[in-house]
C-alpha cells in the first residue's frame, strides 16, 4: 500500500463531516461499531451524524475497508480517554472501527443486540464470556476476512509511519466506560504480527498443554465432506493457517484442554498448529500373534 496526501490509495475515501485539525498520530485505537452488520450501515453513520463522531477507517465484516479521515487529521473516535500519562487520545491517534454487534444478551437460543436484532447463537459461533474489562455478555467472533483486513491495514500504517508506537483498544484507553473491542478479538496476535513481538497466545498454549512422550502417535481427521481448520493456537478466534482434508493422517505433538474443549497440536504440510480433537481419531496398530 502507498500513501498519498495521508490517504490509502487502494481504499475508497469518503470524507467524514467531523474532521479536525492536523495531528501526529502515535497510537492506533481499535473499536467495535456495536451496530448492524449490513455493509455500509455503520460507515454511513460515522461519515455524517449529529453526534459529532468520526473515525479514520471502517472495516466491514467481509474485509472491505473505507477511509473517512486523513491519517494526519483529528477524528472524534476516542472520547474521554487516557494513554500512558496523556489525556484526549483523539489528538494523537488513528481510529479504526470494526463492524461488530458488540455485547449481547441471551434470548433463548438467540443473542439479542442492544438495538433489538437477534442472532442464532450456534450459527454465528457466539460465546458467553466474562472478563474484568468487559463484564459479562454474549460476543460474536470476528470473521477471518475482517481480521485479515485489520492486520493488513495496521501493517500498512506502521510500515509508513515511524511515529506510530502502539495498538490499543477502546476499553484500554477508556476503562470502565467502554468495552470494545470484544473479548474475542485476537489483540495479542495482531500486536505480535504488526509490532514484531512474541505472540503470548502461542506461549500460553504451550504452557497449558502437555507434550507427548510417544512421538509416534498418529491421528486421522474425521470430517466427512469437509476440511478441518489448522489453527495457530487452540481458539476459535480468527487464526486459521491451513485447511486439512478429511482422512489425513497427522502426527500429534501436544494435547490440552482449553475452555472445556480438547485440542491437539499436530504437524501438517510443514506447519505446526492446533485442531479440535473431536474431529480426529487416534490410529492404533494391531500386531499379530508372536511366533
pLDDT tens per residue, range 52-93:
999 999 999 999 999 999 999 999 999 999 998 899 999 999
Q: Which three cell numbers mark 174?
A: 477508556
When pLDDT is cut at 50, 70 and 90, the band that residue 155 belongs to is: very high
Q: What is the pLDDT of residue 85?
A: 86
In terms of DSSP bridges, do strands 210-211 and 218-221 run parallel, antiparallel, or are they unpaired?
unpaired
Average pLDDT over residues 147-161: 93
Determine what percent of the chain is predicted with pLDDT higher than 90.
70
Cis geometry, peptide bond prior to residue 134 (ω within 30 degrees of 0): no
The mean pLDDT value of the chain amounts to 90
pLDDT tens per residue, range 231-287:
888 877 667 888 999 999 999 999 999 878 899 999 998 888 899 999 999 886 554
92: which DSSP letter?
Answer: G
Q: What is the pLDDT of residue 145?
A: 93
Query: 206-282 is classed in which CATH architecture?
Result: Roll (2.30)
* Domain residue limits, the chain: 3-100+142-197, 206-282
Can 3-100+142-197 and 206-282 be said to share one CATH topology? no
pLDDT at residue 99 is higher than 50: yes
Quick one: which H or E segment has residue 42?
helix 41-47
> pTM score, two decimals?
0.73
pLDDT at residue 142 is higher than 90: yes
- Look up the CATH superfamily of 3-100+142-197: Peptidoglycan recognition protein-like (3.40.80.10)
Amino acid at each position: 500500500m502507498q500513501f498519498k496526501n495521508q490517504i490509502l490509495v487502494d481504499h475508497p475515501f469518503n470524507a467524514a463531516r467531523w474532521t479536525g485539525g492536523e495531528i501526529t498520530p502515535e497510537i492506533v485505537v481499535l473499536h467495535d461499531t456495536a451496530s448492524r452488520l449490513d455493509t455500509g450501515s455503520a460507515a454511513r453513520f460515522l461519515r455524517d451524524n449529529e453526534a459529532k463522531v468520526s473515525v479514520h477507517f471502517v472495516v466491514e465484516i467481509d474485509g472491505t475497508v473505507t477511509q473517512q479521515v486523513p491519517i494526519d487529521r483529528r477524528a472524534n473516535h476516542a472520547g474521554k480517554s487516557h494513554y500512558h500519562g496523556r489525556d484526549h487520545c483523539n489528538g494523537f491517534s488513528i481510529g479504526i472501527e470494526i463492524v461488530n454487534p458488540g455485547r449481547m444478551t441471551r434470548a433463548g437460543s438467540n443473542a439479542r443486540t442492544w438495538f433489538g436484532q437477534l442472532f442464532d447463537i450456534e450459527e454465528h459461533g457466539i460465546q458467553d464470556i466474562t472478563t474484568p474489562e468487559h463484564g459479562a455478555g454474549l460476543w460474536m467472533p470476528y470473521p477471518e476476512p475482517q481480521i485479515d483486513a485489520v492486520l493488513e491495514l495496521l501493517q500498512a500504517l506502521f510500515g509508513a509511519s515511524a511515529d506510530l508506537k502502539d495498538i490499543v483498544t477502546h476499553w484500554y484507553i477508556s476503562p470502565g466506560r467502554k468495552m470494545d473491542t470484544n473479548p474475542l478479538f485476537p489483540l495479542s496476535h495482531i500486536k505480535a504480527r504488526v509490532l514484531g513481538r512474541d505472540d503470548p497466545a502461542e506461549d500460553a498454549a504451550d504452557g497449558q498443554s502437555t507434550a507427548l512422550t510417544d512421538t509416534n502417535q498418529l491421528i486421522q481427521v474425521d470430517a466427512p465432506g469437509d476440511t478441518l481448520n489448522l489453527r495457530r493456537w487452540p481458539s476459535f478466534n480468527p487464526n486459521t493457517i491451513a485447511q486439512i482434508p478429511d482422512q489425513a493422517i497427522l502426527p500429534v505433538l501436544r494435547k490440552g484442554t482449553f475452555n472445556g474443549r480438547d485440542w491437539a497440536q499436530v504437524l501438517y504440510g510443514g506447519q505446526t498448529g492446533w485442531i479440535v480433537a473431536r474431529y480426529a481419531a487416534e490410529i492404533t496398530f494391531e500386531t499379530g500373534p508372536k511366533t
